Amino acid sequence: MILVTGATGSIGKHLVQQLQQLQVPFKALVRDAGKGRMLGCPYVVGDFDDPESIDAALTAVDQVLLNGAGAVPTADGAEQPMVAQQKAAIDAAVRAGVAKMVKISVWRAHQGGRLAEGAHWDIEQHLKASGIEWALLQPSGFMQNFITGAGTFSDDGSLIAPAVDAPVSYIDCYDIAACAAALLTEPSGSGRSFVLTGPEALTMAEIAGQLSSALAKPVDVVGLSSDDMAARLQAQGVPAQFALDVAHLWADVGTGSLAATTPEVKNLTGREPRTFAEFLAANRAAFR
C-alpha cells in the first residue's frame, strides 16, 4: 500500500491519476475531505501538524511519497515549518514499519542553503539516517508556476525575470509524478538522488514567445533585479530576511544556474520528459 502525501498539489494530482492507471493499491493523504472526494480515489484525512492523524494514515502502508508545501514566509531566523513536519512524518513512518520512502526535494539542496535548499537538505539527511529505504527526487523549476502565476507575472500580465536571457530547464510536474510512480512501484532507485529537468533549457524570452502563441496575445518580459524583487516582496508584507533570501535565489537563477538538463526522467520512465510546448498543449484549459 502506497501513501501519497501532498496529494492535491501539482505533483500529487498527477501521481494519483498515474497510480490509478497502474492499478496499484494506494491512498491519498488530504487535509480536507471534500478535496479528497474530488480526487476520486481512496483517501485519508490528516495533517503534518497533527501527529496522530499521520500515525493513523500510515496504517498498513509500506511505501510513502513524501511531499509537502514549499518554503513559506516566517519570522526572521525561524526554521521553515516543513523541516519539523517532514522529520516527524519520517519518524512516524519508522514506527509504522514503512519499507520505502520517496521524497520530493529540490535541485541543489545543500547544507546551509537558503529557504527550501537548506530545509530540504536537512530533511534528506534525516531520511537517510532513518533506516528506511529511500530515494530523492530533486526537480528543477516547475512549468506549473506559469499556471499559478506565483512570483512569475507582474500586475499587468508580463513575465518577470532576473535575466531575460538566462535559461532554465523547467520540468512538468506530470513527469515528476511519473518518476515517483516508477520508484514506488518498481524495485529500483533506492539510495539514490535524481535531479529531474525538462528536455530543454529555455530563456524567459523564449517562454514568453510560446505563451504569446498559446494565449493568442502578446506576453512581455520585464527584468527585475534582486533589490527590486526584495522590495516587491517586502511591500507585500513579507518578512525582510525571507524577502532577501528569495531575492538571492532569484538572482542566482539569473546566472544560468538551472540551465543544465539531465536524462533522469527518461532513465526512470523510459520516455523523454515533456517540452514546454507539450506542457502548454496539455494545459490549454488552465491557461484559458
What are the residue ranges spanned by the domains of the chain? 2-287
Q: How far apart are CA 131 and CA 184, in angstroms?
A: 17
Confidence at 268, pLDDT banded by 50, 70, 90:
very high
How many Å from the N-terminal Cα to the C-terminal Cα in the chain?
A: 37
Q: In what order do the strands lie in the sheet with 2-4?
A: 43-45, 26-30, 2-4, 63-66, 100-104, 133-139, 192-196
Give the number of other CB atoms < 10 A from CB of residue 217: 9
- Does the pLDDT value for residue 117 go beyond 70? yes
pLDDT at 160: 86
- Does the pLDDT value for residue 287 go beyond 80? no
- Does the pLDDT value for residue 161 go beyond 90? no
pLDDT at 33: 92
Q: How far is CA 264 from the centre of its chain?
A: 16
Overall average pLDDT of the 62-84 stretch? 87
C-alpha cell at 283: 494545459
* CATH superfamily to which 2-287 belongs: NAD(P)-binding Rossmann-like Domain (3.40.50.720)
CA dihedral 242, 105, 100, 21 (to 10 degrees): 120
% the chain with pLDDT above 70: 98
**What's the chain's average pLDDT?**
92
